[in-house]
Amino acid sequence: MAGKTLYQKIWDAHTVTAYEDGSALLYIDRHLVHEVTSPQAFEGLRLAGRKPWRVDANLAVPDHNVPTQNRAAGIADPISRAQLEALDANCAEFGITKFDLLDRRQGIVHVIGPEQGATLPGMTVVCGDSHTSTHGAFGALAFGIGTSEVEHALATQTLVLWPAKTLRITVRGAVGKGVTAKDIVLAIIGRIGTAGGTGHVIEFAGEAIQALTMEGRMTVCNMSIEAGARAGLIAADDTTIDYIRGRPFAPTGDDWEQAVASWRALHSDSDAVFDQEVVLEAAEIAPQVSWGTSPEMVAPVTDQVPDPAQEPDAARRNGMQRALEYMGLQAGTPLCDIAIDKVFIGSCTNARIEDLRAAAEVIKGRKRADSVKLAMVVPGSGLVREQAESEGLDRIFTEAGFEWREPGCSMCLAMNADRLEAGERCASTSNRNFEGRQGAGGRTHLVSPAMAAAAAIAGHFVDVREFH
């Protein structure tokens, strides 16, 4: 019999009840909660007279809808304020640990979970947010759920799930200088498409993945959902264990030793069979820039905007034409000739300390181009912000004409005051370039932090490998 994949091992270890139809009741170890997708779930609990099954499995933080400046003054928008107050009241009523808006540990839910050691290898982790896939970087089975499932997880500590298929994506060799985790995952999505991973859990493997820091691995797993996969996984190794050691919610003493021993054994067996395999050569991956309105519409920075006329498939051709019209781009335009209006460095994809260091390194001693109206840096958490300030990164950003903000989701989805105006073009380190994502009529180009920083200085996209 063939060996088991990492996914199958975690699935089996969490099966409470296996049903005859192939579905299972799966135990949930960690549930992360934020203000946008939880109020209706808490209301559902109240209406049914139910309580959380295991209160201490939950950790809550406001992030989607929080202001990134003048925070001490409170939230001006009464509707946003009501949503944060609902989270406060719900967590207080049910006794759930929550980091308040003014807590130094507050931040994007997918940044603070790992940062606090609340995400551990072998866990099942859920959150009412599709980018929960981020936590798969720790070898945890982590996936986004809807609000009904948030309520189900709260009430029962389980979910009813059907097993996914498995897809292994191996990135062989080493990436070149200036090529980051973001470029790897964008290249993967460009290759397999936004539905390439639908129905699958992706396990990322290969030397280029193993060489990534935890921050880089989180960037890769974060965008699994943009490839259609509800979850991405990277097996735990020394990099993972070193990251977790000593974090507030991480195990200690004998528990730590026992945990580490179990994590080291938690990987796909060498004879495990995946439903699908994809292999990429790291050396062939260049810095990426998205040109359209879907993350699969992405190309190496050295390329040009593609020509829909060259696309044989009618549905895809229509999609490309529509995207170019929305983006205000002409086929054949070199990506490096595209001028930008705004720059956003942030989001659960790219707002960790390593991301800020990479951006700061590019801009050190330089100035934002006059044509760039706004360049903003939104750290992923209060602790990331503190760390960056202790390294002097905030001064590098502000001296270059960037705004240094307080942590939250910010202009990744533009629920708060940070947004693009119609027609504005943005170099963004976020994860979705959908129509209107960063503001109605806004035009998003997805790039790495270093590429976004370089674009802010040049006023247009540049190949960061040649930007000195």
Partner 1 sequence: MQAFTTHQGRMLPLDRANVDTDAIIPKQYLKSIRRTGFGPFLFDDWRYLDPGTLDIDPATRRVNPDFVLNEPAREGASILLARDNFGCGSSREHAVWALKDYGIRCVIAPSYADIFFSNCFKNGVLPIVLDNAALDHLFATAKASPEREAQIDLGAQIVSCDDQQFPFDIDTKRKQNLMEGLDEIGITLTQADAIRAYEERRRKEAPWLFRGARA
Q: Which is nearer to partner 1, 313 or 370 (CB)?
A: 313
* Share of the chain residues as helix, strand and coil, in percent rounded to the nearest 5: 40, 20, 45
Cβ-contact 149, 74 below 8 angstroms: no
| Residue 101 in contact with partner 1, rule: CB under 8 A | no
259 binds partner 1 (CB under 8 A): yes
In this structure, what DSSP letter does residue 466 have?
Answer: G
Assess 239 for contact with partner 1 (CB under 8 A).
no
Please give the DSSP secondary-structure letter assigned to residue 226: G
- Taking each helix axis as running N to C, give the angle between helix 382-390 and helix 353-363, from 0 to 180 degrees, rounded to the nearest 10: 40
350 is an interface residue for partner 1 by CB under 8 A = no
Residue 166 touches partner 1, criterion: CB under 8 A: no
Residue 208 beta carbon to partner 1: minimum distance, rounded to whole angstroms: 26
Q: Which stretch binds partner 1 (CB under 8 A): 3-11, 18-26, 277-285, 346-354?
A: 18-26
Rg (CA), the chain: 21
305, 296, 306, 376: which is closest to 343 by C-alpha?
376
Of the candidate spans 14-22, 206-214, 335-343, 399-407, the one that interacts with partner 1 by CB under 8 A turns out to be: 14-22
Q: Which residues pair with 161 in a beta bridge?
A: 24
Contact region for partner 1 (CB under 8 A) — 244-252, 360-368, 389-397, 450-458? 244-252
Among residues 76, 195, 273, 339, the one that binds partner 1 under rule CB under 8 A: 195
Q: Are 106 and 62 in contact (CB under 8 A)?
A: yes
Instruction: Name the minimum Å distance from CB 70 to partner 1.
Output: 19
Instruction: Return the residues of window 110-139 that contact partner 1 according to CB under 8 A.
Output: 116, 118, 120, 122-123, 128-130
Q: How far is the CB of 245 from partner 1 (least distance, A)?
A: 13
Nearer to partner 1, 159 or 360 (CB): 159
Binding-residue pattern over the window 72 to 91 for partner 1, x denoting contact by CB under 8 A: -----x-xx-xx--x-----
**Cα-to-chain-centroid distance, residue 295:** 13
Stretch that binds partner 1, among 216-224, 225-233, 346-354, 395-403 (CB under 8 A): 225-233
Q: Across the beta sheet with 124-127, what order do the strands follow? A: 97-98, 58-60, 30-33, 124-127, 141-144
Q: Strands of 230-358 (E only): list them.
A: 231-233, 276-281, 288-290, 298-300, 342-345
Considering the rule CB under 8 A, would residue 218 count as an interface residue with partner 1?
A: no
Contacts with partner 1, 273-312, as mask; x by CB under 8 A? ---------------------x------------------
**Cβ atoms 298, 189 nearer than 8 A:** yes
Interface with partner 1, residue 349, by CB under 8 A: no
| Binding residues with partner 1: total (CB under 8 A) | 85
Nearest-approach distance from CB 431 to partner 1, in angstroms = 9
| Residue 155 vs 331, nearer CB to partner 1 | 155
Q: How far is the CB of 86 from partner 1 (least distance, A)?
A: 5
Q: By CB under 8 A, is residue 411 in contact with partner 1?
A: no
Separation of alpha carbons 238 and 201, rounded Å: 23
| Binding range to partner 1, per CB under 8 A, among 20-28, 233-241, 278-286, 332-340 | 20-28
What stretches of 314-439 show up as alpha helix (H) in DSSP?
A: 314-327, 353-363, 382-390, 393-399
Residue closer to partner 1 (CB basis): 155 or 336: 155
DSSP β-bridge partners for residue 376: 344, 403
Residues near 338 by beta carbon (within 8 Å), at least 6 away in sequence = 289, 305, 329, 425, 445, 460, 461
Does residue number 16 form part of the binding site for partner 1 (CB under 8 A)?
yes
